[in-house]
């Protein structure tokens, strides 16, 4: 018996995954894109993205890293908006045809809506809108059921058949 020295070929279709998807996935996650968005852009289904997360080294990590960085950036901006902040800015004036650049600091006061949003998400037990009320209700429900006649059932079936026929036309 002879030994077979040829390598075995992998079964199934070759993967559509490209190594550049690792960096692209990171960048797109930074932009807030979802797995569904990635699938649409790369022309695959969302399930394929999930398979790549398991089978392609570095792919899941790069997407998670991008999502985490984007979330941290937004959280920082939300916090600044909720608490108020100041930043450096410039104004450009026309001084007799010559641009005059003036540095100044612009202040944004705290935003109540951003603060409430932050607190509702960070301290749900204290700030949530939903209130739990424990209440016991004793009630009796009576119902009257009427039996439809064979004639009324036949009339309804005829109406349904007519609507289906009209829809096909």
Q: Which of 23, 73, 70 is nearest to 38 (CA)?
A: 23
Is the pTM here over 0.85, yes or no? no
25 domain-assigned: yes
161 domain-assigned: no
32 domain-assigned: yes
Q: Which class for 14: exposed (0-12), middle (13-18), buried (19 or more C-beta within 10 A)?
A: exposed
Number of domains in the chain: 1
16 domain-assigned: no
Instruction: Name residues whose C-beta falls within 8 Å of residue 41's C-beta, 6 or more positions apart in sequence.
Output: 28, 33
* Domain span including residue 120: 21-127
Residues facing residue 99 across a β-bridge: 94
2 domain-assigned: no
- pLDDT value of position 147: 61
pLDDT tens for residues 132-148? 677 777 777 665 556 66
Residues facing residue 107 across a β-bridge: 86
36 domain-assigned: yes
76 domain-assigned: yes
145 domain-assigned: no
Q: Decide: helix, strand or coil at residue 132.
A: coil
């Amino acid at each position: 018996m002879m030994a077979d020295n040829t390598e075995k070929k992998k079964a199934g279709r070759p993967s559509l995954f490209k190594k550049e998807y690792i960096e692209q996935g990171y960048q797109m996650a930074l932009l807030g894109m979802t797995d569904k968005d990635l699938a649409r852009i790369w022309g695959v289904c969302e399930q394929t993205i999930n398979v790549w997360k398991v089978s392609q080294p570095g792919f899941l990590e790069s997407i998670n890293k991008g999502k985490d960085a984007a979330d941290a950036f937004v959280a920082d901006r939300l916090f600044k908006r909720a608490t108020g902040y100041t930043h450096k800015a410039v104004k450009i004036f026309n001084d007799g045809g010559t641009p005059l650049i003036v540095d100044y600091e612009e202040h944004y006061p705290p935003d109540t809506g951003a603060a409430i949003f932050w607190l509702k998400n960070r301290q749900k037990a204290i700030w949530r809108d939903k209130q739990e009320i424990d209440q016991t209700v004793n009630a009796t429900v009576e119902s009257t059921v009427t039996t439809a006649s064979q004639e009324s059932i036949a009339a309804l079936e005829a109406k349904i058949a007519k609507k289906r026929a009209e829809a096909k036309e």
